[in-house]
Structure 1
Amino acid sequence: MEVIKTAWEFFQNEILGMGWLNRLISTGLNACGLDTTGRIGGSIQFFIYDTIKIMVLLGVLILIISYIQSYFPPERTKKILGRFHGLWANILAALLGTITPFCSCSSIPLFIGFTSAGLPLGVTFSFLISSPMVDLGSLVLLMSIFGWKVAVIYVVLGLVIAVAGGTLIENLHLENQVEEYIRHGRSMDVLQDELHFKDRLHYAWEQVVSTAKKVAPYVLIGVGIGAIIHNWIPEDFIVSVLGDNNPFGVILATAAGIPMYADIFGTIPIAEALLAKGALLGVVLSFMMGVTTLSLPSMIMLRKAVKPKLLGIFIAICTIGIIIIGYLFNLIQPMII
């Protein structure tokens, strides 16, 4: 048992967390005359280390996930989802969202396609909630920073929100709240040629390059903010605003994430820095979920597809779910970290 524990800690710290890279960068910066224990040197180390770590993990994850996705083009996915009904359909749609490494804005076109194809509205919303919130990338990145317990519980609770939210929307019978051009649209099934290994690998690599170009600016911004928080903002200030002394920290963090636009890869370094400064775990995760699920740009895009009533219900479901999860993580933090 001790061997398994040691092996897992090595995998988490040195493979996922890339501790060796952090030490290498620290040695290199110290050799160049920078003190990595100081604010400037520490900020530079944090920026270089987190940027490389996130982009490498991102590339590997997207390559693997996109290769798997090459077996499930949208037309085939619609047919698979169409065979299920009720709660099982919502669960399957939420699980499908976990293997789509998209931000919320990228998920909306797929949501529109699924809705136009005639899939139940609740099913498509389960996908829309799950996709940006609990993709496999978030699982791996959260494991690299917070450990496997936090990562698994985060993903499970995110899936619960997606399934519950989609089921509620389905039972409210809000089909008339979808814009007419989508309700009356029809997507055509395109016959898919059987791809060979090289074709799938080429497709996966194209997705890596495309995704990296899209998320790189947000990763750099997120890492930059994280470096500032980690090395320049006093710990007492973070604790007073986002620590256990403020019962409204989860609500503030959720609201603070809404104006921002980033995916899970851009929010991770900010979350890492906040937690290191003393912010509660639930507060940090609420901020991440607020950014990835309820960002203002994605809500503006979603408004083009649904009417204000349905948009408001979607925002309310996600907000309440995020806040509940945030307070739950605050409660169980001593047991999982």
Structure 2
Amino acid sequence: MTTASLSTNGLWAGLRHLWRDQRVWLASALILAVLLVFDPTQAADSALFAGDALVNTAPFLILSIGIAAWAGATGADNLIAKAFTGAPLMMIALGALAGGISPFCSCGVIPLIAALLAMGVPLSAVMAFWLASPIMDPSMFVLTAGVLNLEFAVAKTLAAVGLGLFGGVVVHLMARSGALSNPLREGIGNGGCGGSKIRVPKPVVWRFWDEPERRAKFGKTAFTTTLFLAKWLTLAFLLESLMLAWIPAETVTAALGGTGLMPIAMATLVGVPAYLNGYAALPLVGGLIDQGMAPGAGLAFLVAGGVTSIPAAMAVWALARPQVFALYIGLSLTGAFATGLLFQFWVMA
């Protein structure tokens, strides 16, 4: 083989290695580069949108990353894992309830999810928390009651807990048959080998900063988790900015208008690509209801959009194996449609 051939092969190998390790950052850079050539204004808008979104979610992300790193450094993760060794249905109920009232956003909860799964917490309880968390939090409850009404806020809270319970039970039944034993991707926590098996608890060292090894573990966990989230959320927010720019709210309004069963089904499906952040979606849903849309369709849109928003879904995809991601999306859509129907029946009763 000639020297030129060796150099070419080495170059391609290097490029493949670069793409494999940095493909998410490269995809974000490529999007901005293409926009810069064909639509410089949108390139600037998308960059600013992504930056603002990252800044706005930073408090939740920093808190959740810190908790995950602290749990690993102190050994408290073993205590948490042990706490989830009780009755499965009780753990599912606690996970759904905690998710329904937690203050974490759909992206900020991802480090906690990864930590819980790596600790050995059963996927059923984690899924209950995972599904319920993006839908409702205390500030969202107050804002929903103000923009829409108290009845809608209560219904959305019950939908969050109900979806968590539903998803947790489904996963529990599947797990009993031996499915979903390794939910995390390789290289994520203990993904691929023992990631869903309860560990033997070890003593907790609360003053972890006194031990160099534990300090190093805290720093490494925080750093790697931050990089993981930063690259995926940057790409997700760039895509979100483009969808907001290229899919006008009027298009969403036209698709979701009307009453009956079909608008609820449409609202569930449209909620996935529309993916408006929960706060921004409230005025849109309020306007649609004022124009005659069924309240059940509005709730289905909020639930589906909250759980399957682009940033949250991409984070789930990066974290979990494809079958877990598919289950997450399937449970989200099924649950959103069911809660929309139930709320519509309640309103009409």
Cα distance in 1 between the residues matched to 2:144 and 2:116: 29
Equivalent in the alignment of 2:264: 250
Matched residue, 1:115? 117
Question: CA–CA distance in 2 between the matches of 1:153 and 1:306?
Answer: 29
Contact kept, 8 Å, 2:255 with 2:266, in 1: the verdict is: no
Determine whether 1:274 maps to 2:288: yes
Letter in 1 for 2:150: W
Find the aligned partners of 2:84 and 2:303 in 1 and give their Cα distance.
Answer: 29
Residues 99 and 131 in structure 1, CA contact (< 8 A), matched pair in contact too: yes
Kindly provide the amino acid, as one letter, of the partner of residue 281 in structure 2.
Answer: T
> Does the 8 Å CA contact 1:101/1:132 hold for their aligned counterparts?
no
- Could you tell me how far 1:295 is from its partner in structure 2? 1.6
Please state how far the C-alpha of 1:241 moved relative to its aligned partner: 4.6
Does the CA-based 8 Å contact 1:142-1:151 persist in structure 2?
A: yes
**Structure 2: 5+ residue runs without aligned partners?**
1-55, 209-232
Question: What code does the residue aligned with 1:296 have?
Answer: I
1:175 aligns with 2:173: no
2:327 corresponds, among 299, 313, 322, to: 313
Q: For the Cα contact (< 8 Å) 2:81–2:121, is it kept in 1?
A: no
CA contact 1:280–1:330 (8 Å) conserved in 2: yes
Equivalences for residues 108-147 of structure 1 within 5 A: 108-147=110-149
CA change 1:116–1:283 in 2 (3 A) is: same
Residues 239 and 279, structure 1, Cα contact 8 Å, conserved in 2 = no
Amino acid at match of 2:280: G
Distance 1:112 1:160 in 2: 23
Letter in 1 for 2:147: I
What is the CA-CA distance between 1:261 and the residue it aligns to? 4.1
Q: Which residue of 2 aligns with 1:299?
A: 313
1:277 Cα deviation from its structure 2 partner: 1.8
Give 1:319's aligned amino acid.
L
How far, CA to CA, are the matches of 2:174 and 2:113 in structure 1? 18
For residues 154-233 of structure 1, the aligned pairs below 5 Å read: 154-173=156-175, 174-181=180-187, 182=189, 183=191, 184=193, 191=206
Q: Which amino acid letter does the alignment assign opposite residue 143 of structure 1?
A: A
How many percent of aligned residue pairs carry the same amino acid?
A: 23
Correspondence 1:287 to 2:301:
yes
State how far apart, in whole Å, the 2-side matches of 1:90 and 1:322 are: 19
Distance 2:256 2:186 in 1: 45
Aligned equivalents of 2:128 and 2:85: distance in 1? 16
Instruction: Provide the C-alpha distance between the structure 2 equivalents of 1:150 and 1:108, rounded to a whole number of angstroms.
Output: 27
How much does 1:127 deviate? 0.8
CA distance in structure 1 between the partners assigned to 2:266 and 2:122 by the alignment: 34
Offset of 1:79 from its aligned partner?
5.7
Task: Give the distance between the partners of 1:192 and 1:95, measured in 2 at CA.
Answer: 30
* Higher mean C-alpha displacement, 173-182 vs 299-308: 173-182
Distance (Å, rounded) in 2 between the aligned partners of 1:301 and 1:260 = 17
Alpha-carbon shift at residue 100 of structure 1 (Å)? 2.6
Tell whether the 8 Å contact from 2:264 to 2:300 is kept in structure 1 after alignment: yes
Deviates more, 1:133-142 or 1:182-191: 182-191
TM norm structure 1: 0.59
Aligned to 2:101: 99
Question: In 2, are the aligned partners of 1:242 and 1:249 still within 8 Å (CA)?
Answer: yes
Alignment of 1:43-122 (within 5 A): 75=76, 78=80, 81-82=83-84, 84-122=86-124
Does the 8 Å CA contact 1:94/1:162 hold for their aligned counterparts?
Answer: yes
How many residue pairs align between the two structures? 235
